[in-house]
Structure 1
């Protein structure tokens, strides 16, 4: 989970609807929009002379109509019911990014796990089932490499293969709103959807954006926010993935929401939480999920291959950072027993 801070004092979420810039040379106002989309909350802060709320909503609706797995009328839902169908540019961009991350993560990021996600109680239908025979049979038709693009057509080797872009779509939504902002001449903005975010330029204080990254605390509530580190960044996307907030309790123990594409079962690796900074939030979102599924050794290689920056919080109470990520850190929490490694 990521929270974001004003360089002046407190959480940006405490800003009023419009925050006037402190500089006399900038007559523009920092405006704020927030709402619900895809069963999560979004917060957007941007400097502009005009209100872009209608454009924000229409952009998010456009992304949802293409990629929302919970919308039975979306393009993605139609893809899941077909063996071959024409897709739009939004689907293509997310599909191609998923292929790239899939390859760099040794197959540990895969958006075709929709039937498995549902089987474990996290996707549409929420049917919790750990029947070994059923899981093994589902693995026969999962795998993004069992699909391909032929022009504008997505083609599946097996009609039963289904996509779920939930691990990358929120990040892509941030990027699409950011693209809309730039088309409207907005240079300074922060777009956050469900904890994933895209930033550009500077915040109301004139400094780059300050982002607080939560320390993993497993809890039944989402109200606990204990900062592990604060980074200062701009012109990039950042995402954090972890099982400590999205899990289910069963009579056999806790089941995390990250599913292994290899075993078809909830994965348990040495990575408790992964934060990734990348050129786009779509890339950061997918890569953070891949880090959770792959474990630290593959995650480190993937970040190096893709030239992303990242921080991994590991099960032995240590924190690993890329050299570039460490340069972004402006404040780090002092946690008993925590060791920092590069």
Structure 2
């Protein structure tokens, strides 16, 4: 009888140990890399996020991420007839137009950057369309100067007023386009979603713009590459690799999106001053900022400035920026003082 009790006790202990072995440890710190990919804003998105194993089953990240991006697109895409921005553009009144919180955030930053840089102008939608970089096809003929000047009279962020009631325009047919800033805002919104779930190790990319946070599961830092700005290359070549840490990265260039007409090459960056595509020595700009929206907007603005003006702007405003310019001797590079630590 005594031996039977010992046998029963040992059996109970063995079963208990086996059950404990089947349960995950309460302090389990293992993570799973989750890869999310899809289409948004006329381009693609790629998201890598490291999720604790214990949270995997309770999350439906893909659905939540695509919902966030769909909301941004529905608000800011000029390709959607009933989007928020399309309805604003279609309105022909100078009274405040009621807008969402997302729209308010983007238009406020657009006005701020527009006034600061003088080269980022979200009201240039008609000019972008005129030159064939919007929903319309490339023009058959080079637009006439008189037509360009007529359109220029109807643009300018100074003609936008943000009030508690909404967004007002001083010219009834004024139109806006967030093509230079909306992707960045979409990235920021996804990053906010992840951080609300206490997911702080991630990489969010939309159309080549990035926002990075934390590190990979093995402790390695995120590594990004700046592309060699040469459209004649058959394959994309890495110009420089960076480990920027937790920050957003935006690169703008005029070497990929362009067309030729009447023997001339027209790039997709339009100058609000001339009303024409830029012809500059600056071919690639990379900007770092805590906000992908801000980095996206500044990169576009710098490209339209040209090398010397861009250098002055980033130095005056302490902006981390890396510029690549074309010279008679080949490509020349410049790192702003604020960018130096990232090299």
TM range (shorter): 0.7 to 0.9
Quote the Cα distance in structure 1 between the aligned partners of 2:315 and 2:90: 37
Partner of 2:113: 101
Report the number of matched residues: 303
- Match 1:280 to one of 253, 266, 291: 291
Quote the Cα distance in structure 2 between the aligned partners of 1:318 and 1:293: 17
Quote the Cα distance in structure 2 between the aligned partners of 1:162 and 1:31: 39
Partner of 1:33: 36
Correspondences of 1:119-158 after superposition (within 5 Å):
119-128=130-139, 129-158=142-171
Quote the Cα distance in structure 2 between the aligned partners of 1:130 and 1:308: 35
- Match 2:335 to one of 306, 321, 333: 321
Structure 1 unmatched ranges of 5 or more: 1-23, 330-342
Kept in 2: contact 1:240–1:275 (CA 8 A)? yes
Quote the Cα distance in structure 2 between the aligned partners of 1:230 and 1:52: 29
Residues 1:92 and 2:104 aligned together = yes
RMSD between superposed Cα atoms in Å: 1.7
* Structure 1 residue 295 displacement after superposition: 1.2
Kept in 2: contact 1:113–1:164 (CA 8 A)? yes
Partner of 1:185: 198
Quote the Cα distance in structure 1 between the aligned partners of 2:295 and 2:237: 22
* Structure 1 residue 324 displacement after superposition: 3.3
* Structure 1 residue 305 displacement after superposition: 4.0
Q: Residue 243 of structure 2: SS of its match in structure 1?
A: strand
* Structure 1 residue 262 displacement after superposition: 0.7
Quote the Cα distance in structure 2 between the aligned partners of 1:269 and 1:229: 22
CA distance 1:292–1:69, shift in 2 (3 Å) = same
Partner of 1:74: 83
Q: Give the TM-score normalised by the residue count of structure 2.
A: 0.85
Deviations 1:159-208 (A, max 9, x none): 22111101111111100000000011101000000000111111233122
Kept in 2: contact 1:196–1:281 (CA 8 A)? yes
CA distance 1:306–1:92, shift in 2 (3 Å) = farther
Quote the Cα distance in structure 1 between the aligned partners of 2:285 and 2:296: 10
Residues 1:294 and 2:297 aligned together = no
Partner of 1:47: 50
Kept in 1: contact 2:122–2:176 (CA 8 A)? yes
* Structure 1 residue 302 displacement after superposition: 2.5
Residues 1:239 and 2:250 aligned together = yes
* Structure 1 residue 134 displacement after superposition: 1.0
- Greater RCO structure (CA 8 Å; 6+ sep): 1
Quote the Cα distance in structure 2 between the aligned partners of 1:59 and 1:71: 16
CA distance 1:152–1:295, shift in 2 (3 Å) = farther
Residues 1:61 and 2:73 aligned together = no
Residues 1:195 and 2:208 aligned together = yes
Quote the Cα distance in structure 1 between the aligned partners of 2:317 and 2:182: 19
Quote the Cα distance in structure 2 between the aligned partners of 1:327 and 1:224: 30
Q: Give the TM-score normalised by the residue count of structure 1.
A: 0.85
Quote the Cα distance in structure 2 between the aligned partners of 1:55 and 1:234: 25
Quote the Cα distance in structure 1 between the aligned partners of 2:317 and 2:175: 26
Q: Residue 148 of structure 1: SS of its match in structure 2?
A: strand
Quote the Cα distance in structure 2 between the aligned partners of 1:200 and 1:172: 16
Q: Residue 86 of structure 1: SS of its match in structure 2?
A: coil
Kept in 2: contact 1:119–1:126 (CA 8 A)? no
Residues 1:216 and 2:229 aligned together = yes
Kept in 2: contact 1:104–1:305 (CA 8 A)? no
* Structure 1 residue 155 displacement after superposition: 0.7
Q: Residue 307 of structure 1: SS of its match in structure 2?
A: coil
* Structure 1 residue 303 displacement after superposition: 2.0
Q: Residue 59 of structure 1: SS of its match in structure 2?
A: helix
Partner of 1:253: 264
